[in-house]
Amino acid sequence: MFGIPVFAAIFSCAIMVVAGVTDLDCTTANSIWPAVFTSLTNCCTTATVDCNGASNSTGLIDSDDCFVSCNSYGLLDRIKIQNTNLAAGVVPNFNNLGSLTTLIIANNSFLGQLSRWPTTLVFVFPLCSDIRRNQIDGPIPTLPFTTSHAYFDCNALSDAIPPLPNNIIEFCSNSNQHTGSLPEFNTPYLVSFNATDNQLNGTIPLSFSSSSLKQFEVTNNQLTGAIPNLPSSLTTGKFDGNCFSRPSSVTFKNSCPIASTCSSQADCAQHNATGIVDCVAASSSGALQCLFTCCNAPGSTPTNGNTTCTVSFTVCDS
């Protein structure tokens, strides 16, 4: 799963503080999260905040658990406070930090609901990875149009997933309690969408087919209907644990026939090849064949493991 290491290629610089600049956001930060932002006048370095047990040995946002920085105007622009020993409490409202572009507060003991985001936010990692330590509930607030990466895994978030902003690249909200339909996928930069282990229902939007998605995982929801044609860019698609119609008409990326005939989907399982999708009519003659979802040239016969594509799903009707 895509996670915090994505920052390694983006934020590989040490904390930089402009000399003589007043830390203008410190009073606001202190009012919303006093357990971390203890100073009313200096909040632009980790030396002036309480990391509450989070590591801060390198001064780098991609390797430390505790990192803060301000822009040249003395306004907080990046906050990363994760894996702390903070006592359980309501998640802070960061909306009044109007220059915040990066927010990472993973693996803290937050409760309650999320507030509206600052409109400047680009990277959102408000929740992460351990349901035993985060119990944030309610809906995800509308994401700012600037947001490119958003990760909300393993909490108790509910309601529908909000519309995806135009700049979104990666979205993850696995292991929550989302209901309602999937959002539309007509955003030009989206390459990864993950919403496994929720209660989403309805069908997959047709905009899925023309998207730029490379990874799409919606395992263990309540989705129904036909799976639309897969995007040509897709390399990983996981649809198991839903109730889709038999995909006799779906166009998979380079569906390669295994050299055998079949009478049912069970006949295909004997090949033990990742990506066998179904026993369908693979030619104009109507002969049934096992189709293998692959990245090889169309019409080629792949061997076990000779593929970089993975597509799996569950069908309920015959």
Q: What does the pLDDT look like over 86-104, one tens digit per residue?
A: 877 888 999 999 999 999 8
Predicted pLDDT at 6: 41
**H-type helices in 20-68, by residue range?**
26-32
CA distance 304 to 102: 43
State the sign of the Cα–Cα–Cα–Cα dihedral 247, 229, 233, 295.
Answer: positive
CA distance 296 to 309: 9
Decide which of 287 and 230 is more confident. 230
Contact 167, 150 (CB under 8 A): no
Put the strands of the sheet holding 110-113 in their side by side order: 89-90, 110-113, 135-138, 156-159, 177-178
Domain that holds residue 76: 1-178
Question: Rounded to the nearest 5°, which phi and psi values hold at 235?
Answer: -115, -25
Q: What string of DSSP letters covers 92-129? A: P--TT-TT--EEE--S--EEEE--PPPTT--EEE-S-S
The predicted-structure confidence for 239-285, as pLDDT tens digits, reads as follows 878 887 754 444 555 455 555 566 665 665 555 444 445 555 555 55
What percent of the chain stands above pLDDT 70?
Answer: 67
Q: What is the CATH number of the domain that holds 98?
A: 3.80.10
Predicted pLDDT at 231: 85
Predicted pLDDT at 106: 86
Instruction: Tell me how far the alpha carbon of residue 101 is from its chain's centroid.
Output: 18
* CA separation, residue 2 to residues 6, 169, 178, 230, 257 (Å): 7, 11, 20, 21, 32
Inside any domain, residue 235: no
Residue 75: how many other CB atoms lie within 10 Å: 19
Inside any domain, residue 121: yes
Mean per-residue pLDDT, 150-168 = 93
- Of 93, 96, 91, 100, whose CA–CA distance to 128 is shortest? 91
Inside any domain, residue 24: yes
Predicted pLDDT at 204: 95
Inside any domain, residue 318: no
Inside any domain, residue 302: no
Q: Average pLDDT of the chain?
A: 76
Structure tokens that stand for 79 in this block: 């906050």
What percent of the chain stands above pLDDT 90?
Answer: 40
The lowest-confidence range among 105-109, 222-226, 268-272, 305-309 is: 305-309
Inside any domain, residue 297: no
Inside any domain, residue 232: no
Query: How many structural domains compose the chain?
Result: 1
Q: Is the pLDDT of residue 176 over 60?
A: yes
Inside any domain, residue 89: yes
Q: Write down the pTM of the prediction.
A: 0.75
Predicted pLDDT at 52: 93
